[in-house]
């Protein structure tokens, strides 16, 4: 049987094209995996993780926009019923490698946080440097706010308060909610801050 060189050439060309396609596909998949790995590494390097401060952390001063002020030491928290506002605050520490920026807060009523757009916005962004301590503070001033009577009553009677903080990295991503409990100290009139749980909003939750 004579060899059909034309057919053979076509077969060899098709085989070469297939091999090239497979190699190109494998290369693209490998590059895609490498890009995803690099992106994850970058996100981790920017990721903040806020918790209550350590008992040994130094004293910090909190100042509200109306001039109200207090000092918190260690793992302290603050809850005070004023004449026309309820003042809240907590000493924080950033366990993550990235700068943390607190954008808002809420008073949770269930086991999961509210939607991000339902959080009360901070009057200014609050920054907590990587591996460092910082503070959060806010005030509820609207006496007609539906949350005001309950919050004022709990502060007045020194009952446990849960506060959710909404924060992210300095590029505005990796939004996270951390739930804090403000607990009255057994002695004196101070409060302490306890970390309860974290929720990831922009990536899969680990639980």
The pLDDT value recorded for residue 46 is: 86
Are 82 and 31 contained in the same domain? no
Q: Return the CATH number at 63.
A: 2.60.40
Residue 134's DSSP bridge partners are: 92
Average pLDDT estimate for 96-106: 97
Whether 80 is covered by a domain: the verdict is: yes
Whether 207 is covered by a domain: the verdict is: no
Residues 138-151: b if buried by 16+ CB within 10 A, e if exposed: bbbeeeeeeebeeb
Which residue range(s) make up the domain with 28?
Answer: 1-46
Whether 74 is covered by a domain: the verdict is: yes
The C-alpha torsion from 125 through 129 and 131 to 136, rounded to 10°, is -30
pTM higher than the cut 0.85: no
- More confident of the two residues 147 and 31: 147
Tally of domains within the chain: 2
Are 36 and 108 contained in the same domain? no
Whether 166 is covered by a domain: the verdict is: yes
pLDDT digits (tens, 9 = 90+) for 49-65: 999 999 999 999 999 99
Are 118 and 18 contained in the same domain? no
Count CB-CB contacts under 10 A for residue 41.
Answer: 10
């Amino acid at each position: 049987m004579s060899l059909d060189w034309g057919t053979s050439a076509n077969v060899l060309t098709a085989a070469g094209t297939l091999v090239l396609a497979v190699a190109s596909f494998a290369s693209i998949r490998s590059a895609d995996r490498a890009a995803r790995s690099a992106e994850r590494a970058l996100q981790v390097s920017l990721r903040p993780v806020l918790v209550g401060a350590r008992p040994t952390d130094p004293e910090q001063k909190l100042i509200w926009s109306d001039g109200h002020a207090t000092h918190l030491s260690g793992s302290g928290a603050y809850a005070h019923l004023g004449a026309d506002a309820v003042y809240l605050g907590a000493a924080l520490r950033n366990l993550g490698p990235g700068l943390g920026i607190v954008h808002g807060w809420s008073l949770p009523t269930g086991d999961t946080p509210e939607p991000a757009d339902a959080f009360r916005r901070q009057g200014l962004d609050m920054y907590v440097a990587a591996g460092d301590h910082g503070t959060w503070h806010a005030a509820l001033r609207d006496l007609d706010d539906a949350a005001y009577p309950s919050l004022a009553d709990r502060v007045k009677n020194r009952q446990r308060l849960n506060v959710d903080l909404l924060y992210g990295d300095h590029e505005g991503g990796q939004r996270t909610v951390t739930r804090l409990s403000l607990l009255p100290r057994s002695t004196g009139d101070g409060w302490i801050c306890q970390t309860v749980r974290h929720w990831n909003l922009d990536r899969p939750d680990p639980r």
